[in-house]
Each structure stands twice: as structure tokens, then as C-alpha cells.
Structure 1
């Protein structure tokens, strides 16, 4: 076999690094331009946005490549400025919580929300999670009958007020005044709306399960099928929810699986009428999905589990009547969603 000179290999690697650096820079610039003008109206922009902020991390490599390989001052300076802006944005958005200042006299309520992923989550695991966290209200999605028969029954003493209507369920320490099943935008996904009595105040709660996006292949030519990111069913559900919340006059809490990340236009729509508890009082990226996915490798009888979620799609939201004391992503169960928890404070002006 003919030996390839070392200098040729190095030259090829440098050219490859230059190509990747320029290509990635052009990709990010085009992404921001198209997002500014179109946002989620273009499916490709909506798809790329779901991977934010992960897609931005290679930016930190650009100044190194600029100094050591490209060796052009303008590229190094611009990429260094981009890194400073990225660090500032990450700090403000993900690592700068602003929890509300409270006093002992202000009533607080602990919320737990968890997508059980149907039969995956075992009832003993759910009971363990609830006993550890001791929430006041529990929002559950993708539950099955075994959960209502086992876990709900076991929790009856601590949570006497229960609405277990698979695939969603609510357990509460506080009286449930009324409840109803919703199908936002007339879609088959099931949601719940209820009114509870907390500290003498009626509070509206929504248990959310939005339709998840998916990738479909569309035949554009006779022998060519193009994958397209589809999320058009989620948007009407979110708009329906937003309109309902706008009509509410009581304090509101909304929790559940929204199947959207915080860089989507649907997230922005919700953020205009409600506040994100994790963004206000949590720390970090708050990724909740997918956990424990099995990815089979090429080696026979070998598999690898994705135990580090890369998307945040589970949320606890609240209206202006509340403040967030704390919020966190909790210990994993058998589900591919991580549970989320928050402690909210009912503000003085919201009380009767």
C-alpha cells in the first residue's frame, strides 16, 4: 500500500477544517436571517430551532480554527465577538434565574408534572417520585388504567381529589370544584381543565398534552421522497389554549407535555400570556426528553441508551397572579420524559 506523505494529510485536514468553519458560519448566518423573517412558517427553520442551543455550540471552536488554521484576522475577530454574544445570551436565558422574593405569610403551592409514557412508568416508581417530592397538585400525561387502579388508589389518602381519565390525570390535595375534558382545536389529543380551591381562592388549572411534531416523507419526484418536518397540528392547539387563558379571570396554572422547545413560535405565543416557571426560577437548559432511548449500534447484541435528554418539552406555566420560588427537572423514571416540579407563590394582589 502506497504511503501518503504526512504533509499532504495535514494539508487535507486543514482544508477540511476551513471548509467546515466557513460552511458552519454561513449556515448559522442564514438560519438567523430566515428565522428573523419567517420563523416557524418555514418547516426547515422550525426543525433547526428545536436543536437550539445545541446547534450554536460549535461557534466556540471558530476562534481557535481562525487563529491556528485560517489565520485571517477578520474571521478571528468576528468569531470571537460571536462567542462573547453567545455566552452572554446563554447566561441571561439559561443561567440567570430570577426567583421571586417571598415572606413566610405568602401561601405556596408545589406542582409536579410528568408524562408517564403509557405503560413504561411503573406504579411503584410513580409512588416513589410523589412521596419524595410531596407536591400539592400532580399533572400526569399518557397514563393508562393500571395507574388509576394502583397508584391513584394508593394515593387516595394524601390526594383525596382525583380526576383519572386516561390518558390524562390530576391529583390534588385541594378540593376540585369542577373539571372538564378538552380537545383543543378539536384534535384527538386529550387535555383537562379544572378549578381547585386553594387558600380560599379559586384557581384554574390546565393539564396539557399537545400533539407532537413528526417527520413525514413526501414524494416530490417519481423516484424521490423528501422528509418534511410536520408540526401544523400543534400550533392550533397552542392557539386555542392561549385564547382560553386570555379569557380566564382567576389565577391560572398550566402544566404538561407541550411537545415544543423554547425556541419555537408556539412557545413565544404561550409566553405572551403565561410565565415559564423554569425560565424564571430554574437553572440550566432543563432538558426533559428523550431519556433512556435505545440506539442499537452496528455491533450485534450491543445497544446504547440516550440517558441525556436534549430537548425541553415539558413545562409548568403560571399567570401574573403567581410568582415562581423554585423550579427543577426531577429524577428519571422509566418514562422517556423527565418529570418537572415547581413551587409557586400566590401574590397578595391575587388573593380575595
Structure 2
């Protein structure tokens, strides 16, 4: 292949991946009931951004003008959907702040997905060491309701609905808190084992509404051998249906968030990244603590070695993010996230809900 053909081929690849990346940005801005297959592009936004970054560096080294195209793609992404990587985080220590930790514990490894002994004890030890003021767990165990392994929390709620089936009909969410919990409610998602719980957290004279959520899962086993066994067309169709269900669940949550008379915190496992329509629906004018104070990729899930961020802590703008931390301990298929927060009543302007009492 001569120099001219090589350049044209490389330029064609650059334009192709640039256009795919631009198309993937649009996924977070429009509902995809009519074309759920197209929405799958949103799952690949982080990868497409990385590819465009590599293409930019490639053309920069070769000193070709086409480098401006992947650079433009990245700039458009940064100002429309955000970046996949943050160079610098922030960390402040402020009196009267509080900490919140969210973790999908995958049933404390009850089914032995991690082939090691004592993973459940590792999780409990981790929580004790971190000692957050508010702890939100997804895929918890009902046996935790009768357990005293976390005595530092005088207030807790472990959600569960009994069933005659061998397995519980809903994934179990749990909240442990050093502050009183009031007005606890379950938010059921139609035709789904996933759900959310909501409650009011009373911290001194202030009340904050907390949502601990777990959106519809793709239920994909991330091993190449397993995926090869499933027909690709059926896999894409199934994933498209999951995206539609996530959107429906996000709309339901959005309505509940809008009704809150108190500043809102939404945490949990979204089972989709920050470029999805469901994420944008729920986020609204809330702030993503990673975007406010996190650094690096902020990965909460590792898929085939690629870092993904599918677990989030979103807060009302009146709740300042002092720091955001991610952890790389392998205790589940997800990684825990933690935020240090400070409620500032005077900073609450035009946000969801009414003014705080």
C-alpha cells in the first residue's frame, strides 16, 4: 500500500470513528423506543472517545491537518455530554459535612461469583473501616435485616417482598444511617425485579430526601465464551428492550424526584453509563459528585478490562460535593463510590421540589 492509499485509509477510519462518536452523543438527548438498537451506541461512548483521542495523537505525531477532526469530536463531546476522564479531583474538610457510600454488593458473594472465601467478611470490614454516615447498598441480602454486623448505624431499612418463588421477586436495596430515617417507601418498577427505595434523612434541623435505586440490568455475563453462545441478533434485541425499560423506570423516578419537598440525593446502580438517556432523565439539574470532585475514569464496573461508570451519586445543587472517591477492591462486580457532602440551605435556588423548611 503506497503512501497516498495509506493516508486515505487512515483518514477514512478517522472520519468513520468520528461520525460514530458524534452519533453516540445524541443518544442521551432523545428517547429511543422507536429505535432501541441505535441507543446501544450510547454504551460505547467512552470507548469511542478513547479511540478518537488515540487518533488525534496519531495525526498529531504525523503532523497532518486531519488531526483537527478527532479533536473537534472530543471538544463537542466535552461540552455536550462530558468527558470520560478527569485529571484533577478536589478534597475539602468542612465542619458539619457528612459522608455517603454506595455499593452494589451482589448479595455479598452468596453465589460464589468471586472464587474466594470470606468475601462477605471483606465487604463488612470495608464498610466498618470507611464508616460512612449514610450507606446505600444494592443487591443486599434479607438476612442483613436480622444481623448486627453494622451496629454503628442506629437507623436502617432493608427492603424485601416475600415470594413463593425460590428467589425473591425483587432485588433488595438497603440503607444504613447515623441519622433518623422517616417516610420510607418502596418504588416498584412494573414487570421488573429491580426497584428503588426512598426516604427522608433528618440531619439536625435539615431534611434531605434520599433515593437508592437499581435500574434494569442487561443480565449479560461478561465472558466472551458466554456471549459467543448467544445469537447476536437476539442479544441486540434483548439489550434494546432493557434500554426501553430503563427509560420507563427513569421517567417514574423523575416524577418522584419532582414531587420531593426536600433537597434530593439519588444514588445507586443505574446499569448504564453517564451518556445514556436514562441517566440524563434522572439527573436533570442534579449534580454528579464525580463531575464535581472526582478524578480518573471513576470506574465502578470493569467490562473486559475497560473502565465503566454505571454507579452514581447525584445531589441537589444546594448539597456541595467536597470530595468523591472510587475504590478498586474486588469484592463484587461493582466498585464502591463515596462522596463527602455539605448541605448549604442558603445555596438552594431554583431546584426540584419546594423550599426546605
Contact preservation (8 Å) 1:210, 1:259: yes
Pick the structure with more strand per residue. 1
Q: 1:109 corresponds to which residue?
A: 98
Alignment of 1:1-352 (within 5 A): 11=1, 18-19=8-9, 21-33=11-23, 36=26, 39=30, 41=32, 42-62=35-55, 76-83=64-71, 86=74, 93=83, 94-95=85-86, 104=95, 107-120=96-109, 122-150=119-147, 153-156=148-151, 158-166=152-160, 167-184=172-189, 187-213=192-218, 225=233, 227-228=236-237, 229-230=239-240, 231-290=243-302, 306=304, 308-349=305-346
* Pairwise CA distance, 1:178: 2.6
Query: Normalization by structure 2: what TM-score?
Result: 0.74
* Pairwise CA distance, 1:271: 2.5
Over the residues paired in the alignment, what is the CA RMSD in angstroms?
A: 3.4
For residues 224 and 29 of structure 1, do their structure 2 counterparts lie closer, same or farther at Cα, with a shift above 3 Å needed?
Answer: closer
> How far apart are the structure 1 equivalents of 2:189 and 2:92?
35
Q: Which has the larger radius of gyration?
A: 1
For residues 65 and 31 of structure 1, do their structure 2 counterparts lie closer, same or farther at Cα, with a shift above 3 Å needed?
Answer: closer
What is the number of residues matched between the two proteins? 310
> How far apart are the structure 1 equivalents of 2:144 and 2:106?
11
* Pairwise CA distance, 1:210: 0.5
For residues 29 and 109 of structure 1, do their structure 2 counterparts lie closer, same or farther at Cα, with a shift above 3 Å needed?
Answer: same
Unaligned runs of 5+ in 2: 111-118, 161-171, 221-230, 349-355
SS in structure 2 opposite 1:124? helix
For residues 265 and 64 of structure 1, do their structure 2 counterparts lie closer, same or farther at Cα, with a shift above 3 Å needed?
Answer: closer
> How far apart are the structure 1 equivalents of 2:159 and 2:94?
37
Query: Normalization by structure 1: what TM-score?
Result: 0.75
Contact preservation (8 Å) 1:213, 1:234: no
* Pairwise CA distance, 1:117: 1.2
> How far apart are the structure 2 equivalents of 1:340 and 1:132?
14
> How far apart are the structure 1 equivalents of 2:89 and 2:109?
35
